[in-house]
Structure 1
Amino acid sequence: MKILQVIDKLEVGGAERVAVDLCSILYKNNVEVDFLNLLKPSELDQELLEKGIKVHYLNRENKFNPIYLIKMLLLLNQYSIIHVHSRHVLRYVGLTFFLPRIFRKYKVIFHDHFGEIEHDKFISPYLRKCINNCAAYVGVSPSLVSWAKENQLNRRVFLLENIVVEKDAFTKIATESKIVVVGNFRKQKNYEFLLSVLKNLPEPIKIDLYGTIVDRKYYDEIVNLAKSHNLFNRITIKTKEKNISEILLNYKFALHCAASETGPLVAIEYMSKGIPFIMFNTGAVAKVLKENEYDSIMDIFDEEMWSKKIMEVMANSSKQSYLSNQLRILYRNFFSEKIYLEKCLKIYQNIQNS
């Protein structure tokens, strides 16, 4: 069994992080695995290269140029399983499905990371055809899996919830904040509500917000909103930090305000480090935590309720310690590297034997 993980470009993002971690876990456990970027090198490539994982680059400049498609087809045929991450990547790899099966020696697994499935269930006829032609559909959340089954997108539908690889590295930083928020700047992250919560918290409390600027217009809106509410002296926005995992233990509490998520990865990161956090009831992490009686999963966006819940934890060191231990246990039971590897290999074996 020879695996090729495929994505367009390894920029800093959720699907990209999952792809890198999955590839690293497989490689560490002696699975023959390489990586293909459809475009050019980017930030996360180095993590794979440093481990000795082979990374291919298609260096595609025009997706309508058949030369790139032929180059990709020749590469794909060197592997038994092609593990494709994200819908736009499948749309390109799916062009090879128009070729007779005799020209394709590989089987394709589609790994769907779409985070807006609660609000956007539309699927184009072409994407439906691509998914239908895959050997299996893998969703990162129960919502995606239910959607795929309801729409009969594939005969084989699997759930593979996201994880993060536990890291021990720690970097001490100078900060006045005890609360952290992590998430790239896009409307889905609901930072308007974050500012409403901050406004309801006692004056001395400050927040550090880390996020790459994906949507410049949205970033500017949030900055202007913070200024208009006189909150700019209570929130520090950091857009260039690359090693978020290493600095998280500088904080005592975390918030995640997104209205729609599949994971999210950062919540799993908080769990692995035992950092108590509050989040809206969306995605796989919230489902697991709610089912296991973690009491900071919120069903509505009410800034007074959220701020009250935050202060209950921040003002009680015993509760902080209890929640920290609870989160570490739940991380090991549901989101550990070992469990993830077992699930992934089971999917590969199922496809290989089909």
Structure 2
Amino acid sequence: MRVLQVIDKLNVGGAERIFVTLSNLLFQKNINVDVLIFINNGKLQQDLNNKINIIDFQRQSKFSFKNAKQLSLILKNYDIIHTHMRHVFRYVKVVSLVFNVKTKIILHDHSSNTKKIPFLLNSFLSPKYYIGVSNNLKEWAISTLNIQKKFCFLLHNVVVSIDNCDEVKKKEGAVVVGNIKPDKNQLFAIQLLPQLNTSLTIIGQIQDIDYFNSLIREIEKLSLQNKVTFIHNEFNVQKRLNNFQFALSTSIRESGPLVLIEFVAQSLPFIAFNTGEISLILNKDLPNFFINNFEQQKWIEKINNLKENNIDLKSIYDKNFAPNLYLQKCLNIYKEILNS
């Protein structure tokens, strides 16, 4: 079985991390896997196993006939084309139709948006094989994209736990992890600080400069300049998590969120707004870690109750998110598709 993993670029983001993790896991399992990236040199490309073959394909334009022809010749060498994200799938699908590529193409959907249907994705460019990272996405694909139920698969996100060997003498403060933009709602975490006797570290790249500036203004308004720290260029968050007492996840809308897996992998207690598939899974074991509103006082109460936490978070990670379980689920999906 020859597998090609395809994505547009490897900047820091949840879908990109899954792409890297899955490619590495497949390679470690001795699966014949190559990767194709439309635009090279993203920050996460350095995390790919350096023995994985990266196909030399530099797309100049999605309207380039030369690039499309080049891609079609590449696609024909594989049994499975595993595309990540909707816009990547659409481009690969168009190329396969124009140049009569018969290879089986999967759309691995990492989106949290089930309200908007991407152009032609429910008709001419509808995928035959679909992987959603949540049940919500899977049901949306069946009902809205008209994909056969037997070819719609669920594959929850995964994080490979890293060993934190550095001993921390004293854990201090709270941490919020996520690229800086309105959906991540870091503003709410900042507004909680005056009622908490602690500091806050916000880890994430700036994706919306206007929103970032609004955070700075709020920090100044609340006189929290000495309490809030930003870290913008951290690409291995897990190694820092051992420094903190607890984490907050204030995102308004997520398909994951992937960061919750990182928290349990590093045994870091957290309070999170209840959104996304990972929240649904963890809520079964950690109901007191989740909240369904943005009422400040309710969050403060939840945070204060974390001091009484003595749950073995690492065992919850091993039970739900072990990489070997994730890989086997993916291989089972490949097998079903190849046998169809």
TM-score range, shorter chain: over 0.9
Displacement after TM superposition at 1:171 (Å): 4.9
Give the secondary-structure state (helix, strand or coil) at the position aligned to 2:218: helix
Q: Is the 8 A contact 1:131 1:153 kept in 2?
A: no
Q: Is the 8 A contact 2:9 2:37 kept in 1?
A: yes
Matched, 1:89 2:88: yes
**In structure 2, how many angstroms separate the alpha carbons of the residues matched to 1:116 and 1:67?**
32
Give the secondary-structure state (helix, strand or coil) at the position aligned to 2:130: strand
Matched, 1:331 2:331: no
**In structure 2, how many angstroms separate the alpha carbons of the residues matched to 1:262 and 1:131?**
23
Matched residue, 2:105: 108
Give the aligned residue type for 2:194: K
**In structure 2, how many angstroms separate the alpha carbons of the residues matched to 1:175 and 1:36?**
43
Give the secondary-structure state (helix, strand or coil) at the position aligned to 2:30: coil
1:192 aligned to 177, 187, 201, which one?
187
Matched residue, 2:116: 122
Point out where structure 2 has 5 or more consecutive residues left out of the alignment. Answer: none
Matched, 1:278 2:271: yes
Give the aligned residue type for 2:266: K
Matched, 1:346 2:340: no
Q: Is the 8 A contact 1:80 1:105 kept in 2?
A: no
Once the two structures are superposed, residues 256-284 of structure 1 have per-residue CA deviations (whole angstroms, 9 ceiling, x without a partner) of 00011111111100111111111011111
CA RMSD of aligned residues (A): 1.9
Once the two structures are superposed, residues 183-219 of structure 1 have per-residue CA deviations (whole angstroms, 9 ceiling, x without a partner) of 00111101121122222213xx101110111111111
Q: Is the 8 A contact 1:110 1:131 kept in 2?
A: no
Give the secondary-structure state (helix, strand or coil) at the position aligned to 1:129: coil
User: Would you say how many aligned residue pairs link Structure 1 and Structure 2?
Assistant: 338
Q: Is the 8 A contact 1:40 1:57 kept in 2?
A: no
Give the secondary-structure state (helix, strand or coil) at the position aligned to 2:121: helix
**In structure 1, how many angstroms separate the alpha carbons of the residues matched to 2:215 and 2:168?**
25
Q: Is the 8 A contact 1:164 1:335 kept in 2?
A: yes
**In structure 1, how many angstroms separate the alpha carbons of the residues matched to 2:158 and 2:124?**
26
**In structure 2, how many angstroms separate the alpha carbons of the residues matched to 1:206 and 1:228?**
16
Once the two structures are superposed, residues 202-257 of structure 1 have per-residue CA deviations (whole angstroms, 9 ceiling, x without a partner) of 3xx10111011111111111111211121222111111222212111111210000
Matched residue, 2:173: 178
Once the two structures are superposed, residues 2-23 of structure 1 have per-residue CA deviations (whole angstroms, 9 ceiling, x without a partner) of 1000000111111000000001
Q: Is the 8 A contact 1:39 1:57 kept in 2?
A: no
Q: Judging changes above 3 Å, is the alpha-carbon distance between structure 1 residues 83 and 222 closer, same or farther for their aligned structure 2 residues? A: same
Q: Is the 8 A contact 1:135 1:351 kept in 2?
A: no
Give the aligned residue type for 1:234: K
Displacement after TM superposition at 1:293 (Å): 4.4
Equivalence map 1:1-354=2 (5 Å): 1-50=1-50, 52-99=51-98, 103-117=100-114, 121-129=115-123, 132=126, 134-155=127-148, 156-171=151-166, 177-202=172-197, 205-313=198-306, 316=307, 319-320=308-309, 322-323=310-311, 325=312, 327-354=313-340
**In structure 2, how many angstroms separate the alpha carbons of the residues matched to 1:125 and 1:261?**
22
Once the two structures are superposed, residues 24-56 of structure 1 have per-residue CA deviations (whole angstroms, 9 ceiling, x without a partner) of 011111111110001222222222242x00012
Q: Judging changes above 3 Å, is the alpha-carbon distance between structure 1 residues 178 and 131 closer, same or farther for their aligned structure 2 residues? A: farther
* Greater alpha carbon shift after TM alignment, 261-270 vs 189-198: 189-198
TM-score by length of 2: 0.94
**In structure 1, how many angstroms separate the alpha carbons of the residues matched to 2:173 and 2:119?**
48
**In structure 1, how many angstroms separate the alpha carbons of the residues matched to 2:285 and 2:125?**
33
Q: Judging changes above 3 Å, is the alpha-carbon distance between structure 1 residues 272 and 157 closer, same or farther for their aligned structure 2 residues? A: same
TM-score by length of 1: 0.90
Give the aligned residue type for 1:114: S
**In structure 2, how many angstroms separate the alpha carbons of the residues matched to 1:296 and 1:150?**
32
Q: Once the two structures are aligned, what percentage of the paired residues are identical? A: 36
Displacement after TM superposition at 1:130 (Å): 6.0
Give the secondary-structure state (helix, strand or coil) at the position aligned to 2:141: helix
Give the aligned residue type for 2:82: H
**In structure 2, how many angstroms separate the alpha carbons of the residues matched to 1:217 and 1:113?**
25
**In structure 2, how many angstroms separate the alpha carbons of the residues matched to 1:341 and 1:111?**
14
Q: Judging changes above 3 Å, is the alpha-carbon distance between structure 1 residues 123 and 256 closer, same or farther for their aligned structure 2 residues? A: same
Q: Is the 8 A contact 1:139 1:160 kept in 2?
A: yes
Q: Is the 8 A contact 2:255 2:276 kept in 1?
A: yes
Give the secondary-structure state (helix, strand or coil) at the position aligned to 1:347: helix
